[in-house]
Amino acid sequence: MKRTVLAASALSAAVITGLTACGGSGSDTDAAADKPKATASQAKEVSPAERLAKLMVTKAESGYTVKEPSDGDALAASQEDMDVDKAVCTPLAYAMNELPIGSPQATLTHVATRSGAMFTYITLSTYADGAAESAMKDLAKAADSCGSGYTATSDRGSSPYNSVTVETAPSGSDESLATAATFEFKGFTQRLRTQTFRFGDTIVNYFTLDSGAFLQSRPGEAKIPADLVKAQNAKLG
């Protein structure tokens, strides 16, 4: 059965998934002695991916459980796996499917939950000089051009959005954009929301859905948690 964007995926996976981690290391004393020591500049160098990992908000900072989403949690696993019937709407489709907008150097997505049935996906992305501004420009164009809706598809299913509206985003960043989109699921209207912020060369996108509405077959009205946004944005600003 084809699934509408995140209607089945977030419910089947994100609720029950836990974070697991393991690791280990070993070294040979003589071999290590032969290796040149890292210079001070090398020791301080941080990759874009490592930088994002440090910028992702934690439970201690936000009060929300923040963890990696499950495999298959979104309509598409990558930008290349998604097709959009209206090309101009593609950045919106990415923003509503845990994918980065534009062409980032690195990206990281976690899902934040607390009591209740709201799931908020936080996607952090870092860009080369000027690329973040370009990505935000394309997202704004999509929001202005796709009010009548669009359809995103992948080998996992199809997501037909009926409408897109631009809303007011909180202040405090270099740029921001907020949207609401609707689609039908089992005869009920579901409203999903995004808020996207640029801080220099870093973009954070929040995407929230009301999972309880899908489970209970009722209309859904997703609301992005203001306290979560405040906590995450504080680490970026």
The model's pLDDT over 80-94, given as tens digits with 9 standing for 90+, comes to 999 999 999 999 999
Q: In the predicted model, is pLDDT for residue 25 greater than 70?
A: no
Q: What is the pLDDT of residues 28-76, one digit of tens each?
A: 444 444 545 545 455 578 999 999 999 999 999 999 999 999 887 789 9
CATH of domain 9-16+57-236: 3.40.1000.70
Cα–Cα distance between 179 and 207 in angstroms, integer? 10
At 48 the three-state DSSP class reads helix
Q: Give the model's pLDDT for residue 117.
A: 83
Q: How far is CA 196 from CA 126, 173, 181, 214, in A?
A: 13, 10, 14, 24
CB-CB contact of 222 with 194 (8 Å) = no
Q: In the predicted model, is pLDDT for residue 124 greater than 70?
A: yes
CB-CB contact of 115 with 64 (8 Å) = no
Token code pair at residue 221: 């009205």
Cα–Cα distance between 182 and 188 in angstroms, integer? 10
Cα–Cα distance between 63 and 47 in angstroms, integer? 28
Q: What is the mean pLDDT of residues 161-173?
A: 95
Phi, psi at residue 14, to the nearest 5°?
Answer: -65, -30
Cα–Cα distance between 127 and 222 in angstroms, integer? 29
Cα–Cα distance between 115 and 113 in angstroms, integer? 7
Q: Give the model's pLDDT for residue 198.
A: 98
At 130 the three-state DSSP class reads coil
Q: What is the mean pLDDT of residues 6-32?
A: 36
The chain-wide mean pLDDT, for the chain, equals 85
How many CB atoms sit inside 10 A of residue 182's CB? 16
- Going by the DSSP 8-state scheme, the letter that residue 87 receives in this structure is G
CB-CB contact of 120 with 62 (8 Å) = no
Q: Give the model's pLDDT for residue 104.
A: 98
Q: What is the mean pLDDT of residues 198-205?
A: 98
Q: What is the mean pLDDT of residues 196-200?
A: 98
